[in-house]
């Protein structure tokens, strides 16, 4: 736990002094909250977050021939495969509320962002291991930068849907105005799970390797390439999948539809916000010990 005592009056140029003690921060929750708010409101936090976002996005596409086009290629290829299989009657997905190409592309775009959001916190912190062991800075800046970068990479491909709506004769509606917020909340739910897993994921790489396997299986248990059936076992199980409402509501809004499963969406987001708050607490308490272990 760190304590920043007040400075003595009369000093010409007081410098901040931080005293580290072995006492757990949970014994002084108000002090822990004060330190957290002080860090995230500081100019250092904002400046570091912005610099990390700019650096990471620039580095991602600096040595790439196609640049940002790589944001569009994976969902387009995946959607193209399912569109082809459905057109050839290799699979039969049933009737969808909007044309199937638009349905499956929007679903894949939302899922791509959600799947990445779970592993994003671990990746954002892992990239800065060398910096963590050498410098003392608000470590929550790594998470903030990771989420901003995640949102940019998820939102830009969603712009593909805007010109496709009139092409498929789907009218534009007010829903498009709140769609970016729905996407942010969907990503935040996955990001919250990732933040909670980050401390153990930094210690054991099995966590980071296991997340892609889990999301691949989760993909087929979520109505991304098919609508929820009216009857049968899947009709009963799919509504209990937390990703179902996240994908469906976000897809509905980006395609100008009235959102279905809005109440489950709000419930999942509420739980996600609670998990995010708890994950931040675990992250803040665990990171000093993890950094010390990485330094040894």
Full pLDDT tens readout for the chain, 296 residues: 555 555 555 555 555 555 555 555 556 667 777 877 887 888 888 898 999 998 888 887 776 656 677 777 888 888 888 888 888 888 778 788 899 999 999 999 999 999 999 999 999 998 888 888 777 778 899 999 999 999 999 999 998 888 889 888 888 888 888 999 999 999 999 999 999 999 999 888 889 899 999 999 999 999 999 998 888 888 899 999 999 999 999 999 999 888 989 999 999 999 999 999 999 999 988 888 888 877 66
Query: Is residue 118 within 8 Å of residue 215, measured between CB atoms?
Result: yes
Q: Measure the CA–CA gap between 96 and 291, rounded to whole angstroms.
A: 50
What are the C-alpha distances in Å from 167 to residues 49, 68, 110, 163?
Answer: 39, 24, 20, 7
Q: Measure the CA–CA gap between 204 and 142, rounded to whole angstroms.
A: 19
Q: Measure the CA–CA gap between 239 and 223, rounded to whole angstroms.
A: 10
Torsion of CA 196, 202, 204, 208, to 10 degrees: 70
Relative orientation angle of helices 175-203 and 242-254, to the nearest 10 degrees: 140
Torsion of CA 232, 234, 239, 245, to 10 degrees: -130
Q: Measure the CA–CA gap between 17 and 5, rounded to whole angstroms.
A: 7
Nearest to 198 by CA among 285, 138, 268, 134: 285
Place of tokens 């679903």: 107
Tokens of 66: 């196609």
Per domain, the residue ranges of the chain are 27-295
Tokens of 225: 């390439």
- The dihedral of CA 95, 101, 107, 111: what is its sign? positive
Alpha helices in the chain, H assignment, sequence order: 29-40, 43-62, 73-87, 100-126, 129-132, 140-158, 161-167, 175-203, 206-220, 233-237, 242-254, 262-295
Residue 273, C-beta contacts closer than 8 angstroms, at least 6 positions apart: 188, 192
Model pTM score: 0.86
pLDDT of residue 296: 63
pLDDT of residue 152: 93
Residue 291 CB burial class (10 angstroms; 0-12, 13-18, ≥19) = middle
Tokens of 156: 């830009």
């Amino acid at each position: 736990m760190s304590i920043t005592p007040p400075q003595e009056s009369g000093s010409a140029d007081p410098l901040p002094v931080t005293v580290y003690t072995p006492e757990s921060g949970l014994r002084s929750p108000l002090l822990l909250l004060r330190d957290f708010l002080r860090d995230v409101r500081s100019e250092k936090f904002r400046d570091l977050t912005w610099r990390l976002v700019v650096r990471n996005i620039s580095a991602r596409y600096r040595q790439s021939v196609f640049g940002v086009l790589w944001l569009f290629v994976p969902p387009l290829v995946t959607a193209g495969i399912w569109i082809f299989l459905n057109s050839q009657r290799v699979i039969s997905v049933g009737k969808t509320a909007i044309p199937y190409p638009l349905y499956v592309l929007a679903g894949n775009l939302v899922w791509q962002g959600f799947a990445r959001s779970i592993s994003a916190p671990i990746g954002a912190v892992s990239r800065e291991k060398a910096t963590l062991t050498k410098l003392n800075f608000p470590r929550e800046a790594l998470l903030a930068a990771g989420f901003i970068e995640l949102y940019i990479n998820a939102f830009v491909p969603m712009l593909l849907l805007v010109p496709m709506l009139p092409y498929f004769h789907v009218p534009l509606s007010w829903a498009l105005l709140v769609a970016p917020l729905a996407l942010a909340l969907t990503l935040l739910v996955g990001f919250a799970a990732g933040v909670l897993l980050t401390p153990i994921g930094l210690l054991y790489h099995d966590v980071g390797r296991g997340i892609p396997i889990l999301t691949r299986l989760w993909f087929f248990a979520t109505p991304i390439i098919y609508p929820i059936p009216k009857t049968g076992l899947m009709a009963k199980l799919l509504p209990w999948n937390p990703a179902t409402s996240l994908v469906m509501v976000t897809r509905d809004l980006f395609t100008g539809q009235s959102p279905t499963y809005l109440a489950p969406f709000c419930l999942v987001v509420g739980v996600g916000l609670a998990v995010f708050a708890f994950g931040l607490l675990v992250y803040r308490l665990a990171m000093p010990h993890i950094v010390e272990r990485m330094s040894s």
